[in-house]
Amino acid sequence: MLPFQVGDKVVHWSYGPGEIIQLEEKSLSGRMTLYYVVQVRDLTLWVPVEGADQHSLRPPTSIGEFEKIFKILREPGEKLSDDRYERKAQLTGLLRDGTLESVCRAIRDLSFHGYRKKLNDFDAAILERARKFLLDEWKISLSVPLSDAEHQLELLLEEGRAATPN
């Protein structure tokens, strides 16, 4: 039995929420392999079925799990390094596992960092990508309009900033 079926909503650990639109067999290096064809916005991905549920695809986050996400977002931000190279390594390490919890920690911490000082181009790009990832999944998992999710995200981050000791 396959972990996912055609029509299932899934989240790719790197590209975000999408839908499995078909199964397709392809030959790669002389070996036939079955792939999930996943549509993520305007991008089509071929993800090998073997190991997909352990390495790159997961079901969307449940409503109950979003309560944990909200808790992370309303916590005070953890201080990121002022050295841009160290900060880049911190963020890259944080986002490596592709979990929504890590994405939320990156958003929270970068938002807090940006509140203290101007974000550089790398930080701003990471924050934008992480926000898009979170909001796309939020919209699908909780069936809310994007504008509502964006507004709620800002309120949660404001709570965290207010709770941060100076």
Total of domains in the chain = 2
Q: CA 110 to CA 91: how far, in whole Å?
A: 9
Residue 104's CATH number: 1.20.58.1290
pLDDT at res. 116? 86
Same domain? 118 vs 135:
yes
Which whole number is the average pLDDT over 137-151? 94
pLDDT digits (tens, 9 = 90+) for 97-134: 778 999 999 999 999 999 888 999 999 999 999 999 99
Distance from CA of residue 23 to its chain's centroid? 24
pLDDT band at 151 (very low <50, low <70, confident <90, very high): very high
One domain for residues 44 and 73 = no
**Do 159 and 137 share a structural domain?**
yes
Note whether residue 99 is domain-resident.
yes
Residues 72, 99 within the same domain: yes
Q: 43-48 and 57-58 as β-strands: parallel, antiparallel, unpaired?
A: unpaired
pLDDT at 92 over 80: yes
pTM for the model stands at: 0.83
In the predicted model, is pLDDT for residue 166 greater than 70? no
Q: What percent of the chain has pLDDT over 70?
A: 98
- Span 143-147, mean pLDDT? 94
28 plus 93 within the same structural domain = no
Q: Where are the beta strands (DSSP E) in the chain?
A: 9-12, 16-28, 31-40, 43-48, 57-58
pLDDT beyond 70 at 90? yes
Structure confidence at residue 161 (pLDDT)? 86
Q: In 10 A of CB 32, how many CB atoms?
A: 8
Pair (86, 138) in one structural domain = yes
**Quick one: 53 and 68 in the same domain?**
no
- Print the domain residue range for 33: 9-58
Same domain, 50 and 101: no
Question: Roughly what angle, to the nearest 10 degrees, separates helices 63-74 and 121-142?
Answer: 150
Look at 31-40, 52-61, 127-136, 147-156 and tell me which has the smallest mean pLDDT: 52-61
* 143 and 93 co-located in one domain: yes
- Give the model's pLDDT for residue 30: 87
Contact 131, 119 (CB under 8 A): no
